[in-house]
Amino acid sequence: MKSTIKDRKATEVTLEITIDSNTVNNKLDEIYNKTVEELDIPGFRKGKVPKSFVKARFGDDVFYEDAQKELVEEYLPKALEENEINPVSEPETEIDEFERGEDFTFEASVEVMPEIELEDYKGIEVEDPGTEEVTEEEIEEELQSLREENGQLVPKEGGVVEAGDHVTVSVPDGNTQEVEVSDDEDNPTSDLIGKSVGDEVQVAAETPEDEIELEVSDIKELDLPEIDDEFAKDLGYEDLEKLRTEIKSDLFEQKEEERTDEIGDKILEKIIEKNDFSPPQKMLEQIVNDKVEETKQQIGSDSFTDLLEQEGKTEDDWVEDVEKSTEEQLKQRLVLNKIAELEEIELSDEEFEEELEEQADKQGVNPIKLKNQLRAQDQLESYRDSLKHEKVFEFLIDSANLISEEDNDE
């Protein structure tokens, strides 16, 4: 096999690949042998049809299409590796002639990531929004959330259903189901508000024939604990003050992360503005198509139509928005990867395992289980990339020229 780069563009490379005639002949013979094994022609034993008879009856070119396909599948990957080309979309091949006893030459065009030359990515001047102070109101909201998370469901004696209650209902087929009641009128459970045990209620549906009659068989309400030292101790803290201190620290850390995310996004946006380029078009189209189809499958076609109506968009408008955001994400990924390469920023195996353990701890799962989940979902490498990108963001922020709001006011 001989391969040469015939043409190279920003996001596309065209290869010319030549396979010698001996290889072509051997492939044709191989396909012939596989075919005659299955050939059943009256007058001949199965698998024993002479080659001369097959050629006379069908012609040698009956095997050409299969031979071309198998030769391309076998030798194109070798040519890509030989020329150090990493394709990001399916190749397009062009074949002029194919004959027994002749060299087989074909062209293959593949999309590649563009080689970007970054300039002025250090010392970017951006506004630093600062980190907001944690307010008492925010601490109280978090305490209230913890209170609700640790509440206990208890029977509601002699009362009526209110929003937030857990109600067991009997359906016509005799089964029961427990639901949490919402005061959202679009939620069917809102029809249960004001009902008592033994009451029957017609639950609305899009069409009258789909309406169902439910009977309230049990009502439970959430018994919330008092926010005091005992509550804090149940959560593993010395007293309420220590719990409040921990909440304040966590909230401040969240705000600091939001600040660095905002600064990082601003820096990246300015770098892309200064170093404009386009990602591979076919790759972009494929990612967008996959996202659109995945969304439709996840929420269903009817819900997708409702989504468009809520946003006041046509499907074409929505797809265009997805394409814009996807293109921006691709550009960001390319820039971050390039900076990591230029600055030799790597994520060691030790760092990766530490981050994985920390994430597993936050989710309350075993690190090995989390790693296996990511691997099963084919997300392990993308997660590793995201961690490396975080290190790149840290580098960019450290090297940036951050201007505070006070500096801007002067």
pLDDT, tens digit, 9 for 90 and up, residues 141-167 = 999 999 999 999 999 887 899 998 999
What CATH number labels 2-111? 3.30.70.1050
Residue 206 is predicted with a pLDDT of 60
Residue 141 is predicted with a pLDDT of 96
Of the candidate CATH numbers 1.10.3720.10, 2.30.42.10, 3.10.50.30, 1.10.150.20, the domain formed by 152-223 belongs to 3.10.50.30
Instruction: Please give the mean pLDDT across all residues of the chain.
Output: 89
Residue 285 is predicted with a pLDDT of 92
CA 14 to each of CA 106, 111, 255: distance values in angstroms, whole numbers, following the listed order: 10, 9, 49
Residue 59 is predicted with a pLDDT of 66
Residue 340 is predicted with a pLDDT of 95
**pLDDT higher than 70, residue 396:** yes
**pLDDT higher than 70, residue 208:** no
Distance CA 264, CA 64 (A): 55
Q: Which residues contact 115 (CB under 8 A, 6 or more apart)?
A: 10
Residue 185 is predicted with a pLDDT of 82
Residue 407 is predicted with a pLDDT of 61
Distance CA 89, CA 330 (A): 14
Amino acid letter, residue 361: D
More confident residue, 221 or 32: 221
Residue 408 is predicted with a pLDDT of 59
Residue 207 is predicted with a pLDDT of 58
| CA 146 to chain CA mean position, Å | 30
Residue 188 is predicted with a pLDDT of 81
Quick one: pLDDT band at residue 262, thresholds 50, 70, 90? very high
**pLDDT higher than 90, residue 87:** yes
Quick one: pLDDT band at residue 189, thresholds 50, 70, 90? confident
Question: Which of 166-170, 236-240, 253-257, 340-344 shows the lowest per-residue confidence on average (mean pLDDT)?
Answer: 166-170
Contact 168, 218 (CB under 8 A): yes
Quick one: pLDDT band at residue 410, thresholds 50, 70, 90? low
pLDDT tens-digit series, residues 111-131: 999 988 888 899 999 999 999
| CA 147 to chain CA mean position, Å | 34
Residue 154 is predicted with a pLDDT of 93
**pTM confidence score:** 0.75
Distance CA 153, CA 178 (A): 12
Of the candidate CATH numbers 3.30.420.40, 3.30.465.10, 1.10.1740.10, 1.10.3120.10, the domain formed by 232-409 belongs to 1.10.3120.10
Report residue 170: phi and psi, to 5°.
-100, 135
Contact 285, 93 (CB under 8 A): no
Give residue limits of the domains in the chain.
Answer: 2-111, 152-223, 232-409
**pLDDT higher than 80, residue 63:** yes
pLDDT tens-digit series, residues 21-60: 999 999 998 988 887 777 667 767 666 677 677 777 666 6
Structure token digits, residue 155 = 């029977």
pLDDT tens-digit series, residues 267-307: 999 999 998 888 999 999 999 999 999 998 888 888 888 88
Give the ranges where 17-167 is alpha helix by DSSP (H).
21-38, 51-58, 64-82, 136-149
Give the ranges where 83-196 is alpha helix by DSSP (H).
136-149
Same fold, 2-111 and 232-409: no
More confident residue, 240 or 118: 240
Mean per-residue pLDDT, 300-324: 89
**pLDDT higher than 90, residue 409:** no
